[in-house]
């Protein structure tokens, strides 16, 4: 089975060809292109591989509306992962429709890879924490993403520059330039925020007698976490795509 799995995010749309829960090839497309009626990149992707099915998660409804007609026109089995279409994951949440489709895909991916309990940290435009318990999806946290921090400093001030991601690697803790000072504040502050949130979540799970959770990290900002965390956190860059593939399989006859 060769699946085209698509994760439409606020900034980028991540796609991958998934076989046997392994991502064979993948890429990123600016989501803004899809909102401009430009489905051309996916026409090319669909044309160069013999997919047997398509799975989609999206947090951008306007982009979803543009892309779904192309995907369904292929005649391939199509699974749009939503709170009301998933199988094998109960949602312990008052309003399940409020949970992002990517977050549900991440939890399904975590079910497949590590089981419960687990904490999934997705570091994209927003930084989200999602909790997988023995009962299913148990809730989570939404916080600013690393790029949101740098972009906000630039747009809400007159003189602070826009930082590129490469500007956030290395450099002193005590900055001797504007860029170094911003880098330290954003990169070190971001990892500190993630550490504090993870500590709080882990403590609450222990209070609930849930045991020590496995911790998975995904998303574009994951590489900016300290190297010393390597033994504590499992980095799964394609977690959402794997979750989409597993969810697709669960819906098939």
Q: What is the pLDDT of residue 105?
A: 98
Confirm whether 240 is domain-assigned.
yes
Confidence of residue 247 (pLDDT cuts 50, 70, 90): very high
Q: Is 37 an active-site residue?
A: no
N residues, the chain: 253
Cα dihedral 76, 251, 91, 23 sign: negative
37-47 per-residue burial string, b: 16 or more CB within 10 A, e: under 16: eebebbeebbe
| Contact indicator for 241, 7 with CB cutoff of 8 Å | yes
Per residue in 99-112, pLDDT (tens digit) is: 999 999 999 999 99
**SS3 label, residue 218:** strand
The bridge status of strand 136-144 relative to strand 22-30 is: unpaired
List the Cα angle 61/62/65 in 5-degree steps.
85
Q: Which two tokens stand for residue 36?
A: 């401009």
Confidence of residue 227 (pLDDT cuts 50, 70, 90): confident
pLDDT of 142 above 80? yes
Confirm whether 91 is domain-assigned.
no
| Contact indicator for 131, 119 with CB cutoff of 8 Å | yes
Domain ranges, residue 154:
116-253
Comparing 102 with 225, which gets the higher pLDDT? Answer: 102
Q: What's the whole-number average pLDDT of the chain?
A: 92
* Number of independent structural domains in the chain: 1
| Contact indicator for 248, 229 with CB cutoff of 8 Å | no
Closest among 94, 136, 145 to 115, alpha carbons compared = 136
Tell me, what CATH number does 252's domain have?
Answer: 3.30.420.40
Give this prediction's pTM: 0.92
Maximum distance among all Cα pairs of the chain, rounded to whole angstroms:
62
Confirm whether 143 is domain-assigned.
yes
Confirm whether 30 is domain-assigned.
no
Comparing 36 with 92, which gets the higher pLDDT? Answer: 92
Question: 28, 92, 102, 130: which is the annotated catalytic residue?
Answer: 102
Confirm whether 90 is domain-assigned.
no
Residue 34 has phi, psi (to 5 degrees) of -65, -35
Residue 89 has phi, psi (to 5 degrees) of -140, 105
pLDDT of 56 above 90? yes
C-alpha dist (Å) from residue 53 to 63, 100, 189? 20, 22, 41
Per residue in 164-209, pLDDT (tens digit) is: 877 787 788 999 999 999 999 998 899 899 999 999 999 999 999 8
């Amino acid at each position: 089975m060769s699946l085209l799995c698509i994760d439409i995010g606020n900034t980028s749309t991540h796609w991958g060809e998934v076989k046997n829960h392994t991502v064979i090839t993948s890429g990123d497309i600016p989501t803004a292109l899809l909102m401009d009626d430009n489905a051309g990149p996916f026409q090319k992707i669909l044309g160069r591989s013999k997919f047997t099915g398509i799975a989609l998660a999206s947090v951008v409804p306007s982009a979803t509306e543009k892309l779904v007609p192309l995907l369904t026109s292929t005649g391939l089995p199509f699974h749009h992962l939503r709170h009301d279409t998933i199988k094998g994951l109960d949602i312990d949440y008052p309003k399940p429709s409020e949970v992002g489709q990517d977050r549900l895909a991440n939890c399904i991916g975590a079910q497949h890879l590590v089981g419960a309990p687990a904490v999934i940290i997705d570091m994209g435009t927003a930084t989200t924490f999602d909790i997988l318990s023995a009962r299913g999806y148990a809730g989570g946290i939404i916080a600013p993403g690393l790029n949101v921090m740098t972009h906000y400093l630039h747009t809400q001030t007159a003189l602070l520059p826009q930082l590129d991601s490469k500007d956030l690697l290395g450099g002193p803790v005590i900055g001797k330039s504007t860029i170094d000072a911003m880098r330290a504040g954003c990169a070190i502050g971001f990892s500190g925020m993630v550490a504090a949130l993870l500590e709080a979540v882990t403590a609450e799970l222990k209070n609930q007698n849930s045991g020590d959770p496995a911790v998975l990290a995904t998303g574009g900002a994951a590489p900016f976490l300290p190297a010393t965390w390597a033994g504590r956190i499992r980095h799964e860059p394609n977690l959402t795509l794997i979750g989409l593939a597993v969810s697709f399989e669960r819906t098939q006859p």
